[in-house]
Structure 1
């Protein structure tokens, strides 16, 4: 395995990490902005108002996105295993 192969594996790892974590982070960001806007408009400064809805929505998004996240991770793992097997036979 040369440096080009290592860089390719690192690049693919970063892309998979962004695919898995990106949607949850974006959902969390949107929910946080919506709650902050609601707090600014109503001047309600309750700490639980920022925490509880975000946790519930992110948990729901995790449940909904779990099949996509799992298939992405399994595909990457299979590709990585195939690459390792290819190194052994080559």
Structure 2
């Protein structure tokens, strides 16, 4: 296994993990920011106020993008298995 192949696998792994985790992280960040701005303007300092909107937003993201994420993970798994098969020959 060459150095360029290992670098390619690492790059592919990082991109796949960004595709999988990115939407959830962005939704959580945006909802948290909106709730924080709301709390700052209304001076409501309840720490648990962000949990329910974040939970709902992340659950909706999972429902909407679940098939996309599953296809990305399946494609990555197929590429890795094909690579393993080509190395073992």
Question: Per the shorter chain, which TM-score range?
Answer: over 0.9
Q: Which runs of 5+ in 1 are unaligned?
A: none
Deviation (angstroms), 1:75: 0.3
TM-score between both structures, scaled by the size of structure 1: 0.91
Q: Which runs of 5+ in 2 are unaligned?
A: none
CA-atom RMSD in angstroms: 1.0
Say if 2:8 is the partner of 1:20: no
Say if 2:80 is the partner of 1:80: yes
**In structure 2, distance between residues paired with 1:75 and 1:19:** 12
Residue of structure 1 in register with 2:32 after alignment: 32
Deviation (angstroms), 1:47: 2.1
**In structure 2, distance between residues paired with 1:59 and 1:43:** 28
TM-score between both structures, scaled by the size of structure 2: 0.92
**In structure 2, distance between residues paired with 1:48 and 1:13:** 34
| Alignment size in residue pairs | 89
Q: Which runs of 4+ in 1 moved over 6 A?
A: none
